[in-house]
């Protein structure tokens, strides 16, 4: 199963890099939000510094969602999804591989870039290590939940909008503890460490639940 998982991940990563559309769109959207936000708020550097972690998390979330509908759409259109479902690997493994490939091509690059782009929002440099760690961890759950939403809406018109409506409520706990782990919620290490541990628990839960739920949704669709 490991070889099947690796081959599907490698295939999806190569296709995503070759097409480039979803990655470029996600980066373009993320950069647009980060550039326009200071213009909309004004020259208050103290305010920008306070909202920077939350703004970066929101931009990351929306950028990941923007590319979520493409996780299964191409395979559904050319019939590859049915071939994978009939293959030797369980559909849960296929769903996990799809989610990991999405994280490698969208979630991970954006999570790495987000703290580096924080200087546009006057981000406190002392927050960068915590923000980077929380985003790297939280981006895994973002992609896992996005893949679950994509599996539920595969084959539907305007699936991207439906993914947002279905998955956004599940992102709320992730955002709360992700931002708290990034900033300490104003309470210092006593708040940061518990928030980071809860964030890690949410990520582990997403990794376990998402492939199972995605596989169930895909089976229901193919019936």
Give the dihedral of Cα atoms 157, 159, 162, 164; nearest 10 deg.
-150
Separation CA 70–CA 23 (nearest Å): 11
CB-CB contact of 68 with 147 (8 Å)? yes
17: Cα within 13 Å, side-chain hemisphere: 11
Q: Angle formed by the axes of helices 108-117 and 45-66, to 10°?
A: 170
DSSP-derived letter for residue 120 is: G
- The two three-digit tokens of residue 98, written as one number: 């799809």
Q: What is the pLDDT of residue 189?
A: 46
Q: Find, among 129, 214, 143, 208, the residue nearest to 174 by Cα.
A: 143
Q: What is the pLDDT of residue 200?
A: 93
Residue ranges in the chain modelled with pLDDT below 50: 186-190
Q: What is the pLDDT of residue 188?
A: 46
Q: What is the pLDDT of residue 210?
A: 92
Q: What is the pLDDT of residue 158?
A: 60
Q: What is the pLDDT of residue 20?
A: 61
Query: What residues contact residue 90 under an 8 Å CB cut-off, 6+ apart?
Result: 1, 215
Q: What is the pLDDT of residue 145?
A: 92
Q: What is the pLDDT of residue 10?
A: 85
Task: Give one DSSP letter per residue of the chain, joined into a string.
Answer: -HHHHHHHHHHHHHHHHHH-HHHHHHHHHHHHHHHHHHHHH-S-HHHHHHHHHHHHHHHHHHHHHHTTTHHHHHHHHHTHHHHHHHSSS-HHHHHHHHHHHHIIIIIHHHHHHHHHHGGGGT--GGGHHHHHHHHHHHHHHHHHHHHHHHHHTTT-TTHHHHHHHHHHHHHHHHHHHHHHHHHGGGSTHHHHHHHHHHHHHHHHHHHHHHHHHHHHHHHHHH-
- The two three-digit tokens of residue 165, written as one number: 């409506």
Q: What is the pLDDT of residue 128?
A: 86
Q: What angle do CA 202, 129, 133 make, to 5 degrees?
A: 25
**Helix, strand, coil shares, percent, the chain, to 5:** 90, 0, 10
């Amino acid at each position: 199963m490991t070889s099947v998982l690796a081959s599907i991940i490698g295939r999806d990563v190569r296709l995503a890099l070759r097409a480039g559309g979803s990655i470029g769109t996600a980066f373009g959207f993320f950069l647009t939000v980060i550039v326009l936000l200071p213009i909309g708020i004004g020259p208050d550097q103290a305010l920008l510094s306070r909202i920077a972690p939350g703004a970066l998390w929101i931009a990351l979330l929306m950028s990941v969602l923007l590319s979520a509908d493409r996780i299964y759409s191409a395979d559904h259109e050319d019939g590859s999804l049915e071939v994978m479902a009939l293959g030797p690997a369980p559909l849960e493994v296929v769903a996990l591989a799809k989610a990991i490939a999405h994280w490698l091509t969208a979630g991970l690059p954006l999570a790495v870039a987000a703290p580096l782009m924080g200087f546009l929002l006057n981000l406190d440099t002392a927050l960068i290590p915590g923000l980077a760690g929380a985003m790297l961890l939280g981006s895994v759950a973002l992609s896992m939940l996005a893949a679950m939403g994509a599996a539920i809406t595969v084959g539907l018109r305007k699936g991207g909008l439906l993914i947002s409506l279905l998955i956004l409520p599940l992102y709320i706990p992730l955002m709360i503890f992700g931002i708290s782990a990034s900033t300490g919620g104003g309470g210092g290490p006593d708040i940061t460490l518990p928030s980071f541990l809860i964030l890690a628990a949410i990520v582990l839960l997403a990794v376990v639940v998402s492939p199972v739920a995605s596989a169930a949704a895909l089976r229901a669709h193919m019936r």
